[in-house]
Amino acid sequence: MFNIANKFYIDDKIQEAVDEYEKILELGYEGGEIYFNLGNAYYKLGNIGKAILYYEKAKKIIPGDSDLNNNLNLANLLIADKITPLPELFYIRYFKKFARLTNQSGWMKIFLTLYIILCLIICIRIIVKIQKLRIILHKLILPLIFLTAFILFVLVYSNYQLDRHDWAVVMSEKVDAGSSPIKDSTELFSIHEGTKVKINRTRNNWIEISLPDGMGWIKIEHIEII
């Protein structure tokens, strides 16, 4: 089905490609490549909201893909709301950049490799009788423990990011955010299709969203969760 969808896309049968990709998702499958290609298809159809939604879904699985990040940046240029994210502390920014070097599976492989190496070094140090070799191995153990623990932390962070569902993309052309979860509340600001928002809490069929410059309530029907 994935190959059929890709063939539709190559043959410029974009709507047919979208339908085929959506069928795969309906069967319960997901993957970075599926979301990425579906985002590309929606981008070609001019549906920026859906394109950004699926690019963001793909980014959770394949965060380090340069083509994906470039396409997402291009799509974000087309949305009406130009929102500047709040600045982050430099070490948090660098850590997030490092965590995006590979995906969850990649960090798992690195962690397991380091863990096996650490166990082997400990075992060899216990068995070996040569004093100089024992000293060298002893000096390697502590740095390896710290490195393995750090990679484990990155892996846990990657899993957490993958499981998060507190971000959404606006699907409606324009939405007015109110001060409370009622129909005639005071209008605080307007947001437009394609804007990424953070979900703070839900109440019935309303959600409270936050942007770097404010918070407000909108109907849940106007968004799709990443």
Residue carrying the six token digits 């400990």: 122
- pLDDT tens digits, 39-49: 999 999 999 99
pTM of the predicted model as reported, rounded to 2 decimal places: 0.84
Which amino acid, 208? Answer: E
pLDDT category of residue 14 using cuts at 50, 70 and 90 = very high
Q: So what's the architecture of 2-76 in CATH?
A: Alpha Horseshoe (1.25)
What's the pLDDT tens digit per position in 109-131? 999 999 999 999 999 999 988 88
The domains of the chain are located at: 2-76, 90-163, 167-225
Q: Which fold has domain 167-225?
A: SH3 type barrels. (2.30.30)
Burial class of residue 180 in the structure, from the number of CB atoms within 10 Å of its CB (0-12 exposed, 13-18 middle, 19+ buried): middle
